[in-house]
Every structure is written in C-alpha cells, then in structure tokens.
Amino acid sequence: MHFQWYPGHMTKAKRMMQENIKLIDLVIELVDARIPMSSRNPDIDELGRNKSRLILLNKADLAEDKWNDEWIAYFKEKGFSCVKVNSKKGGGVKSIQSVIQEACKEKMERDRKRGILNRPVRAMVVGIPNVGKSTFINALAGKACAKTGNKPGVTKGKQWIRLNKNVELLDTPGILWPKFEDQSVGLKLAFIGSIKDEILNVEELAADFITFAKNSYPGVLADKYDIEEAGDSYECLKAIAESRHCLVRGNELDTEKAAALLLDDFRNGRLGRLTLEYPEK
C-alpha cells in the first residue's frame, strides 16, 4: 500500500503555521499516545525553535498506560515538557494550566528581569489532522471562555482565548502534516484512522493490523472475536467475518465488512488499550 499527501495542502498549512507561530511563546503539540512518534511532524522542531514546548500525549485512554509513562520519560529526556491527556473525557486537562506555566517558566523569568510584568503567555495548539486539537481546545477553554479582541500587532481576525490572567490560547490550531519517511509510519497512521479509509484497501489494512496485533498483543483478537489466531492474517480476517456474521448474498463471508468492523473496534478502544510503537532506549 502507498500513502501520499497532497503537496498543495501541506504548503498552505505550513504557511499558516509560520505566520501564527511568530505570535506565540509556547507550542502545545498534540500527538496520538498510540503512535507518539509517527503522529509527529519533525518540522515542528524547526518551526518551534526558540519557543517553549509542551507535548501532550492525547487519547492516552486508548494507549497502554505503562507505555504512556515510558513516552513521557522519553520526551522529557529530550527536553520537552510532556503529559498525558484524554481530551474527550477531560482527563488530565485540568492540570494543564499549571503545566503550561511550568513550561514557560524561563520565558516568564526573562520577562520579569526585563521589567515586563503581567504579559500573558501566548500558546498555540498544533498537531496532525484528527489528533484531537479541537476537542482539546474545547476541553481546556470550556464553554464560558472569554475571547479577547484583536490586539495591536496581532494579525487581524485572530482570536485569543483567555484561559486565565497568565495564559492566552490562539483559538485556531495549527495543522501539521504527518511525515512518512517510511511506509510503516503511513501504515500506523492508517491504523488509527488518520488517513481516510476511502483511499485505502481496507482489507489489506485490516490484515496488516491483524499481523501487528498477533505479534504485539497475542490473544487479544482471539478473546474479542472468539477465533483462532494461528492461521495467516487473511484467514483470521475470514474467521472474524464468520464469528461476527459478516455475510454477503446470504452465505458468503464479507471480509470487507469484517475489516471495517475490526478497525473500528481498534480505533474506539474496544480491543483494549493498545500502543503501536515504543520509545527507543
């Protein structure tokens, strides 16, 4: 399978980001806790140079907690602030404000020394499509968020959400394009649903997912679908179709439907908390 993005979209997104990043002190980068590396675009390190940096492992509820903690240690070691969150349920979101202050400590100290007092930290949320940027902004800002008006020096039309007297958040997140140096990154992005299934062969994708699950989480598919995991991946897909009564024309196995069902179960956490990649030691 081959994964491709459209260069036009990428250029536009990058231009927007370059424009907005000039206005901010802190980059809040969301990554998917199941694939913290593959869901990053390393360009952000260049774009966010000289900014305070905070990485959020979002959708932490869908990844194994042991690995969430390992990833936090990994990113901290690299000099980032890093915490896990579940933006959908709000888990970990409340503590973010203090994490933001902590991440910007040096900047605030510099300001203080230069006699700049009470200038709020300005932050922007960035991440690849579907990683949860809007959900996070909503969870953090809540419904009652006070939007501040345009300010001198700020591009017209940009809205800042005042989180408290110390922090303002740009209401439009920055879209980073995923970057695949190798196809395994593309495959992981496809597993979590970051690449539209319409442009993929869903059965092939499901078979690849089965291969991963059998190797990394043996027994998970057997338990969930009451099947044998012993055969090859396509045999397993057929077994899932059979066990879930996915049939066409009355009696033929509908492996395409089974593939969609399996991927949907995984993406929504119904196979349990699974992490797809692990930090390098």
Residues in the site for ligand G4P, rule: CB under 6 A?
A: 58-59, 61-62, 86-88, 127, 129-135
- Nearer to ligand G4P by Cβ, of 241 and 262: the residue is 262
- Nearer to ligand G4P by Cβ, of 129 and 231: the residue is 129
Closest CA to 195 of 181, 207, 179, 173: 179
Q: Half-sphere exposure (CA, 13 Å, Cβ side) for 32?
A: 27
- Nearer to ligand G4P by Cβ, of 99 and 253: the residue is 99
Could you tell me if residue 258 is left (phi over 0), alpha (psi between -120 and 50 degrees) or otherwise beta? alpha
CB-CB contact of 228 with 218 (8 Å):
no
Distance CA 92, CA 115 (A): 33
Residues 6+ apart with CB under 8 A from 243: 225, 226, 227
CB-CB contact of 177 with 189 (8 Å):
no
How many CB atoms lie under 10 A from the CB of residue 261? 18
b/e per residue, 53-69, with b = 16+ CB within 10 A? bbbbbbbbbbbbeebbe
In DSSP terms, which residues pair with 57 in a beta bridge? 31, 84
- Nearer to ligand G4P by Cβ, of 88 and 224: the residue is 88
Residue nearest ligand G4P (C-beta atom): 132
Distance CA 64, CA 272 (A): 8
Closest CB 134 distance from ligand G4P, rounded Å: 3
Distance CA 268, CA 31 (A): 17
Report helix, strand or coil for 200: coil
Closest CB 174 distance from ligand G4P, rounded Å: 10
- Nearer to ligand G4P by Cβ, of 136 and 180: the residue is 136
Closest CB 101 distance from ligand G4P, rounded Å: 22
Closest CB 252 distance from ligand G4P, rounded Å: 30
CB-CB contact of 60 with 45 (8 Å):
no
Closest CB 263 distance from ligand G4P, rounded Å: 13
Distance CA 196, CA 198 (A): 5
